[in-house]
Copies of this chain bind each other. A is one copy, B any other.
Amino acid sequence: MEKRALYLRIRDYLAADIAAGKWAENEKLPSERQLSEQFNTTRVTARQALTQLEAEGLIFRSNRRGWFVTPPRINYDPSRDMGFVRYVEDQGFSARTQTLEKKLIELPDHIADEVGLDRGTPVYEILRRRYINDRPCLIEKIFLNPKHCPGVLQHSLDRSLWSLLKAEYDLVPVERHLEIYPQTLEQPIAEALDANTGTSGLYIRRICRDQNGDFLELDEEFWLHNALKVVVSVMPD
């Protein structure tokens, strides 16, 4: 049987150590020089192993400070109707939300066409940053139909929006359409997440309607690529 390339064997060794808890999350790994000595190889090969682990999301590089262990990914099951705060806390992490901007805008044309509203319809736009265990993990851009929740911007939005909509407006989402795909983080979003422009991310887009099928919310989430894992369990008929 074939022998695995050296950089991949170093990768496996480090991945096993990380899985076994030898380094805790956010802990610094040995330097490239130390690793190349330990494995009796070049720094190029050590760096190849580290880059591979970074591509898999297991470690991350912090400019000038070295390589660190990524905290575990959050599991996100899109087939379950559960808000961010709940699924994060259910997994033993803390969740925090920070509102960056809230304002009334004209709904962008391509979104208006898609959700079946007139072009130029006023909507609330809310920009929030969400943290898992104090690490900024995603930026969320929300378009809300003001017809259904007039004055919602006067409330604090640093909390679950669904709880607020339920408590104040008796609104419950009854249909959801989700799209999920990789997307490179553009500059303002990368900056807001302490990441480099061009870092890969995961884009999640959700359209919610109310009990009567009216457009209620379009939510766009821009996640750090290593912060979550989409998990689906399927039981065929």
Is B182 in contact with A234, judged by CB distance below 8 angstroms?
A: no
Number of interface residues of A (CB under 8 A): 47
Is A232 in contact with B186, judged by CB distance below 8 angstroms?
A: no
Q: Which stretch from A39-47, A51-59, A150-158 is at the chain B interface?
A: A51-59
Q: How far is the CA of A81 from the CA of B237 in the complex (A)?
A: 9
Query: For the complex, is A192 an interface residue (Cβ under 8 Å from B)?
Result: no
Number of copies: 2
6 closest A-B pairs by CB: A55-B184, A200-B200, A180-B230, A182-B225, A182-B182, A176-B234
Sample of 16 further A-B pairs with CB below 8 A, known A55-B198, A174-B236: A1-B106, A12-B110, A56-B183, A57-B183, A79-B232, A81-B234, A175-B235, A176-B236, A178-B231, A178-B232, A178-B234, A179-B229, A180-B231, A181-B230, A184-B200, A200-B225
Residues of A within 8 A of B (CB): 1, 12, 15-16, 19, 52, 54-57, 73, 78-81, 105-106, 110, 173-186, 198, 200-202, 225-226, 228-236
